[in-house]
Structure 1
Amino acid sequence: GGYPKFKKRHSDDGFRYPQGFKIEEDNGRIFLPQIGYIRYRNSRKIEGIPKNVTVREEADGWYVSIQCEFELKPEISIPDIDTAVGIDMGVKRFLTLSDGNFINNLEEKLKPLENKIALLQRRIKHKVKGSNNIKKAYLKLTLLHKRKADIRNDFLHQVSTLLVKNHDVIVIE
């Protein structure tokens, strides 16, 4: 059998199909080889030719990512530079702009969530290992951690969109 190989806990939480899949967008289902047809919720219309499908498991379920190939028509134009801003990333403030504006950290949004996580971790400490109650508690904990990560990602997307929409040139420290 050979030497044992170390297998990290979450290393096999996803897999990819480079070919052999079929997507029925109007029926909301996808055919995966060796699995069969699976229903999925379509978040947006598929543009282009699907090249591969990635299926991954997260705390609250399974997610399908479809990678597509399509031709992008380049627009050749010289942009007018109206506004430029410099960004200083900080510890106390998330970032400070050169025009004097600043964006605070997420501490006040994440504080109640962190309190819930700490409380749940204290409760898990007293549960019997391997019991159904500890499994349910771990599931709640993973959902709270996922919500925390989702809040962080949403915040980063909002800040980056705000900066890109309002400034032509952005310089980072």
Structure 2
Amino acid sequence: MILGFKTELKLNHQQRTQLVKHCGVARHAWNWGLALTQNILKHNQAHPHDKIKFPTAVDLHKWLVVMVKPECPWYYEVSKCAPQYALRQLSEAWKQAFKKLKKPPKFKKKGTADSFTVDGSLAVEQDRVKVPVIGWLKTYERLPVEQKPKSFTISRTADRWFVSWKIEIEPTHEPKPVSVVGVDLGVKALATLSTGEVFEGAKSYRKYEKKLARLQWLNRHKVKGSNNWKKAQIQIARLHRQIANIRKDTLHKLTSYLAKNHSKIGIEDLNVRGMLANHKLAKAIADMGFYEFRRQLEYKCELYGSQLVVVDRWFASSKTCSNCGTKKETLSLAQRVFHCQCCGLEIDRDLNASINLEKAVS
């Protein structure tokens, strides 16, 4: 099984400058390729009888060498892999857009999701990695050195730099203490299990919302591009990173607990995009991270030998009585206790839903 490994880099000023240059070249190559491909698509729409073949990543790189590199000598200060991988990623983004899997690619901004990918003469030792052109970069933790990586992806979040690559891990198939469990996700509590356990969400955005708004309010009149503006941008980015890290930590602990201790896990196929359209609940739903929860649970179940069963989104888990199976016509979100008119069962709404999910996958 292939998993991604990511760790923070311990850099000096010179190394940071080199990483910024690599990100700049990768971003420039992406934006150049995107502008070119957009012009080709516009030409093909305007002249259907005189179409130009849509370029592949190889075509784009050949044109880049001929058209861009002679005019931009700073391309030669970084690894040739940075623009190559940027154009490969652009080509893949267009393929997914043509298949209607994702939206068309957009132009990249400086300082927003800066990253680049390199391959070639890579090496990993206990506490450092070797990158072409840049050399050895130290890390804060010990690294897996059993396998030589095929490529490194280096990215920046706020003022911290990270390196990531793929490693191969053997899945485990140890016996689990609980055979089947149903998991109901909610806004009040992140997850309610059919065993009666309740896991509260981090709600990190709600916790730091006022502080974030304050930082953004103080930054409103600063001159864009000035030193004070740059300092404020780093402060805001740090707070966003802290909010995201708290949310990810909560989700990782929950998904690891579920995958390690339960043989079969039943969850509902939530329409997260549709739920976010509800403006009254969108902020709370986004703060919980339902999509990230399912993404983590999918690969961790494969890693720890558990089975994940996704129940159809139209299954009325909340409206159905877990005792007698009677289904209610309506059940408002304000009703937190489920009361069955047939058998007289009174139970927490989320617990009732999780028990129904457990029965559906048993």
- TM-score normalized by the length of structure 1: 0.78
Partner of 1:60: 159
Q: Deviations over 1:90-121 (max 9, x none)?
A: 232212211232222223x5444222111101
Partner of 1:84: 180
* Structure 1 segment 67-146 matched on structure 2, within 5 A: 67-69=166-168, 72=170, 79=175, 82-107=178-203, 109-146=204-241
* Change in CA separation of 1:82 and 1:7 when aligned onto 2, cut-off 3 Å: closer
Partner of 2:118: 17
Greater strand percent: which structure? 1
1: CA distance between counterparts of 2:198 and 2:232?
A: 38
2: CA distance between counterparts of 1:17 and 1:3?
A: 20
Question: Do the aligned partners of 1:51 and 1:68 also contact (CA within 8 Å) in 2?
Answer: no
Following TM superposition, by how much is the alpha carbon of 1:60 offset from its aligned partner in structure 2, in angstroms?
2.5
Question: Do the aligned partners of 2:177 and 2:261 also contact (CA within 8 Å) in 1?
Answer: no
2: CA distance between counterparts of 1:2 and 1:159?
A: 41
Amino acid in structure 2 at the alignment position of 1:139: I
1: CA distance between counterparts of 2:252 and 2:192?
A: 17
Aligned counterpart in structure 1 of residue 257 of structure 2, from 155, 162, 172: 162
Partner of 2:108: 8
Question: Do the aligned partners of 2:113 and 2:157 also contact (CA within 8 Å) in 1?
Answer: no
- TM-score normalized by the length of structure 2: 0.40
Following TM superposition, by how much is the alpha carbon of 1:76 offset from its aligned partner in structure 2, in angstroms?
7.5
Amino acid in structure 2 at the alignment position of 1:105: G
**What SS does the aligned partner of 1:168 have?**
strand
1:51 aligns with 2:150: yes
Partner of 2:248: 153
* Change in CA separation of 1:4 and 1:133 when aligned onto 2, cut-off 3 Å: same
Amino acid in structure 2 at the alignment position of 1:119: R
Aligned counterpart in structure 2 of residue 41 of structure 1, from 118, 140, 150: 140
Question: Do the aligned partners of 1:85 and 1:99 also contact (CA within 8 Å) in 2?
Answer: yes
Question: Do the aligned partners of 1:32 and 1:38 also contact (CA within 8 Å) in 2?
Answer: yes
Cα RMSD for the two superposed structures: 3.0
* Change in CA separation of 1:76 and 1:143 when aligned onto 2, cut-off 3 Å: closer
1: CA distance between counterparts of 2:34 and 2:247?
A: 41
1: CA distance between counterparts of 2:172 and 2:193?
A: 30
**What SS does the aligned partner of 1:138 have?**
helix
* Unaligned 5+ runs, structure 1: none
1: CA distance between counterparts of 2:146 and 2:33?
A: 46
Question: Do the aligned partners of 1:51 and 1:69 also contact (CA within 8 Å) in 2?
Answer: no
State, as a whole percentage, how many aligned pairs show the same letter: 37
Q: Deviations over 1:62-94 (max 9, x none)?
A: 211233457x4x7788x5774321011123221
Following TM superposition, by how much is the alpha carbon of 1:172 offset from its aligned partner in structure 2, in angstroms?
0.9
